[in-house]
Each structure stands twice: as C-alpha cells, then as structure tokens.
Amino acid sequence: MVKIKKPVIKLKWTQRNKRRVLHAGILMAAGGLFILAIALVQPFYTFNLWFSDRFVSSGRVSPNIVIAGIDDASLAKYGKWSDWPRSLHAQAVNNLEDAGASVIGYDVIFADTSNNDQSFAASMKKAGNVILAGAGTTRLALKDAPPTYQQFLLPAATLYQSAGMIGHVNIVPDPDGKVRRIPLIVRQADGNTYPSLSVAALYTLFHKPLSVSYPLSNSKLNLLMRDIPVDSSYFMLLNYSAIDTKPAYLSYGDIIANTFDPSLVKNKIVFIGMTATGDTDQFSVPNSSVRIPGVYIHAAAADTILRTQFLTEQPLSTTLWTMGLLIILCAVMLPVFGTWHWTDILKGTCFMIVLLFIYIIMASLLAGQGYIMNILYPSLLLLALFITDIVFMIIQEQSDKKFVKDLFGRYVSPQISKEIVSMANQGGLRLGGEEREVTILFADIRNFTTISEKMTPDGVVKMLNTCLPVLIDVIVQNGGLVNKFAGDNLMGVWNAPQSQVDHPRLAVKAALEGQQKMAELCAINTELSNVQFGIGINTGKALAGNVGSLGRAEYTVIGDEVNLASRICSVTPGGEIYIGPDTFDQTQQYFNVEAQPPQIFKGKSKPIVVYKVLGFKIK
C-alpha cells in the first residue's frame, strides 16, 4: 500500500508577519507589566472605589425599617443627652412595644450605670425584642479573620442582662473615608463573638437564636437561610437605597411622648440613633454628598440582607484574568490594523473605543445584578495598550523610513535621494531639469565579455559586486554621485544635483584613487588579476533633472558632453584614465597628464585631443 504524504503547509515568514509578531509581543509585554503593577501596587485605589460607585444601582428601601432619630427636636424637648434619665428610654420601649414594633435596636451604647437602669431594664425584659449596642476598641491587626478588638465597650451589667441581644456598631470606612461595607461579625480578644446591630435585629425579627459559629463557604456567610457574600474579614458590601427613598423617620422625642402614629412602627424594625445636628456619629457614603448618621448605615445593612439585594465585588484575581484576555484580544487585533496610515489608526482607535464601550456596558449590566466589576483598571489597561500601539507605530514608522532610505540608497545615490525628497517637499517633483556644467565619469571593465565567458553567472555577479564597490566608494567619498549601472559599466556625476566648485578635480582624483585601489585588490586576489577598469572623464554643459514619465521618472544628466564622456571611456585602455579637453583645462595644475593623438569620436565632426592622467601634481 502506497502511503500518500500529506502536504506540509509552511507559513511564509515575511517582513510583515515578523512586524506583526513583534507588534503583538510589544503589546503583550506592555500589558503584562501593567498587570504586574496592578497586582503588586494597586494604584489609584481610592479613585477606583469612586469609579466603581458610579455603576452601583440603588433600589428602594424596605418598608419594614424605621429610623427613630434622637434629633434636635428631641434634645430641645428633653435637654442635654447626657442628662437624660434612663426612664425616658423605658417609656420609649413601652410605647414601641404597645405599638407593635417587631424589633427595637439602639445605636447608642449605655456603658455607664444610672439610677434609672432598673426601669429601663424591666421595660426591655418585658418587650423581649430590644437590642443594645456594643463597640470594639483597639483593633488588632489580623488578616483573613473578623475584626478583632483588644477591648469591648458593652452596656452596663443590668442593661446587658435584660437586652434581647447585643449587636456591635463598629463602622470601618474605606481608605477614602467612605463607608461601603460593614463587618457582620466582630470578635473580642478573649474569644467572644458579636454580630452587627443589623444582623442581631434580623435574628430578633425572625425569632431565631444567634449562631454559635460563622463559617465561610465560597466567600459567603449563611445567615437566616441567606447566603451573604462577604470577604475574608466578614465585611459585607452595603447596597444603599436611593437618596429619595430613605427609611421612614420618627423623632425619638415623639416616641417618648407617645405622640406618634403606631401604624408607622407596627411589625417593623425600629433603629434608634443620634441624628442631631453636629453629632460626631456621622459618615460619608458613596451615594450622598453629605455625611449621614451612623444609624442609617446599620439600617442599610439590615435592608440589604432583608431584601437580599447583595453586592459582590469582583476579586482582584478575576480582574487580572479579565485584563489578560483584553491584552490577548488587543495583541491579536491591533497588529492587523497597525501601519502608520490614518485609516489604519482610525480602525485601531475605533476598535479600542468599541472594546471599552462593550466592557463598560457589560459592567453596567452586571452591576444591575449586584456584581461589581472593576472599571478603572481595565480602562487604564486599554488606554495603556492604545498608547503603546501608537508609540510602536511611530517608532516603526521611523524605522520604515530608515529602511526605505537605506534601501533607496542601494539603488540611488544619497545626493539624488536627498534632491528628490527636497523637490517633493517643495512640490517640485516633476519632469524637466536645468542646464548646468557637470563632470561625467564613465568606467567599465575591459574585456568583460571574454572574462565572463570563463565564469559561471554566480561568479560574474560576485566579481562585479567585488569590483564595482571600489569605484563607487571613491566616487562618493569625493562628492560625486553614482547615477546608474549598466552591467560592468557605471556612471558618476559631479556638480549635479548639488553645486561643486572644483568638480573636475574631484572626478579625476576619484578616478586615480579608484585605479590605485583596484590594483591593490587585484594584487591580493589572483582571481581578479585580469580585471581592469577603463575610465573616461569629460566636463561640459548638460541637462540635469527628471526624465521619463509621470509614472516612472529618473534623475540623470543628458547631453552631448555626456555622450562624449562615454566615447572617451570606450577607447581608454584597462587600468588607465582619459579626460576630455575641458576637464584638462580645469585640472592641469593638479595632475600630470599626457596628450593623446587627436581622435574622431562619434557625433563629433572634428578630431578631439584627450589626455591620459599619469598621477597627482598636487593632491
């Protein structure tokens, strides 16, 4: 059985493909460094918090929560807060019980004892649904654990024993000073655990005993048959209600005086706390321009759990993976657009804008479902990748210009390329030229046909590439330009396109130096022993400029004197230099020459004396 070999498909490693791979690699490297910086430093942290706040969609507050504020009116009616007898709180608890309140939670710590503690304790014991506040002080620096405090400020013993539960009222703002989360559990150094005031209120509402332990499972805390998303320190994100839907409000003074509408608190949670002007228990929150009393924060925590409108923050690891995918997508797509043409830049810009827009739309939709994605870091990443893309294209453009210049220089002399660029910048790149005096040098290899017949094609090319650079170098070094090649023949021009005062001397000097270097080359390379250049030089008027067509033009010099230089070259023996009369007239003080018998050249009616250059008089 004959096995048929499957054709192997090989990708052509073109310059464009190399550039695209390099482009993609640069983008991947820049993106990788950006991700590393985010993972290690997390810059702009507070601004990132503010940015994410803009995407949180607040809902309407639960109707089951009421705020009883110890406000300015209450203080005006009953005097300074520190002078209030505990009997007033006993009256308030009795009145709320009679009105049918389900839970009474105090965001006030009754740490000191007073003469009226018994009456207040009796009212709480009778109601059975009163929660008193405690607060930890001197927090210990522990990671991945509930906030732990060295000491705990608790209600006076009589009140502590009569309260239904004790809930902590510790509020921990984020680094920018805003309260976005609250610890549902805190611990005392001795091992006692306290739920937040909001959690204690909900346990009381549902007539459930407090849990003995609070294990985490998949970053969630199961309380009251609800899986509450929290971080490793038991902090829950607060889903604040919209500003125009605050919880129902009553003045605590009216509750004490029993001048309130009982239906407002029936079967509801009543949080009691300071709301008076100038009180220190006020905090900044994301969705309000003014500071709010702490009791509203505890109410917001209870409201978030009660409505199960939880917020889940995207973990840093997920953010980094998302950014990694964005980097791969950009590294694949941007090199496809990436040249320095305005249409390609526009395509790349539109791609980045669309990508950012899609990400923001997706983040907004997920925020509506309670999942808060990181907006700032991916946005900054896309900006960084876009800037990297532009910088790469600018550098690549400069590299391309240098490449084209170098490539152009292989075929066109630097002087011509400079002149072409100059004319193009001035809008003068058109057919035509000017008449000017020039010196023309022609050189070709004697007996080239005979020599090449004995060599392979590769050998001929190798021989030309070895010998021609000798003359090219001396022509360029002496200010001339190599105008064209024709097999073994080359043409050098002086005084065009740039003016040169002593152009005849420079041309003859270049020829002498070229013949000398060729002799040195042949002496050390026996394969070139039969290779000799005959060089003819002539000076005269010629037309210098662009000739050809609008689609294909060439900068050159043409005219009778140019033809004469070619004719002189054709009669020059190998290894020698012949110059025309005008060249002799302008260079005789510099070179030793020997006049040759007058010769008839094609196109000339009279014989012309040419001169053999023997060497330098003055170098």
**What DSSP line would sit under 413-428, residue for residue?**
-HHHHHHHHHHHHTT-
Radius of gyration of the chain (CA): 47
Task: Tell me: pLDDT of 432 over 80.
Answer: no
Banded model confidence at residue 420, pLDDT cuts 50, 70, 90: low
Banded model confidence at residue 120, pLDDT cuts 50, 70, 90: very high
Task: Tell me: pLDDT of 360 over 50.
Answer: yes
pLDDT, tens digit, 9 for 90 and up, residues 54-67: 777 666 778 899 99
Q: How confident is the model at residue 67, as a pLDDT?
A: 94
State mean pLDDT over 217-239: 91
Residues in a beta bridge with 236: 182
Task: Tell me: pLDDT of 7 over 60.
Answer: no
pLDDT, tens digit, 9 for 90 and up, residues 246-275: 788 999 999 999 999 999 999 999 999 999
Sign of the dihedral defined by the CA atoms of residues 319, 321, 325, 326, in that order: positive
Banded model confidence at residue 3, pLDDT cuts 50, 70, 90: low
Task: Tell me: pLDDT of 458 over 90.
Answer: no
More confident position, 173 or 526? 173
Cis amide prior to 85 (ω within 30 degrees): no
Residue 471's closest CA among 446, 496, 492? 492
Q: How confident is the model at residue 122, as a pLDDT?
A: 95
Task: Tell me: pLDDT of 417 over 70.
Answer: no
Q: How confident is the model at residue 554, as a pLDDT?
A: 67
∠ CA 449-452-456 to the nearest 5 degrees? 150
Question: Residue 591 and residue 537: Cα distance in Å, rounded?
Answer: 14
Beta carbons within 8 Å of 205's beta carbon, 6+ residues apart: 102, 103, 269
Q: How confident is the model at residue 434, as a pLDDT?
A: 83
Print the SS3 string covering 246-263: CCEEEEHHHHHHCCCCHH
More confident position, 583 or 348? 583
pLDDT, tens digit, 9 for 90 and up, residues 300-351: 999 999 988 898 888 888 899 999 999 999 988 888 876 556 677 788 888 8
- Strand 533-548 to 432-445 pairing: antiparallel
Banded model confidence at residue 195, pLDDT cuts 50, 70, 90: very high
Give me the chain's average pLDDT, please: 86
Banded model confidence at residue 39, pLDDT cuts 50, 70, 90: confident
State mean pLDDT over 399-406: 68
Q: How confident is the model at residue 422, as a pLDDT?
A: 61
Contact 553, 468 (CB under 8 A): no
Q: How confident is the model at residue 412, as a pLDDT?
A: 52
Q: How confident is the model at residue 553, as a pLDDT?
A: 60
Would you give the distance in Å from CA 237 to the centre of its chain? 30
**Looking up tokens 């559990």, which residue turns up?**
185
Q: How confident is the model at residue 9, as a pLDDT?
A: 46
Banded model confidence at residue 426, pLDDT cuts 50, 70, 90: low
Task: Tell me: pLDDT of 290 over 50.
Answer: yes
DSSP letters of 200-261? HHHHHHTT-PPPS---EETTEEEETTEEEE--TT-EEE--PPPTT-PPEEEEHHHHHHT-S-
pTM of the model: 0.66
Other C-beta atoms closer than 10 Å to the C-beta of 299 total 29
pLDDT, tens digit, 9 for 90 and up, residues 79-98: 999 899 999 999 999 999 99
Banded model confidence at residue 396, pLDDT cuts 50, 70, 90: confident
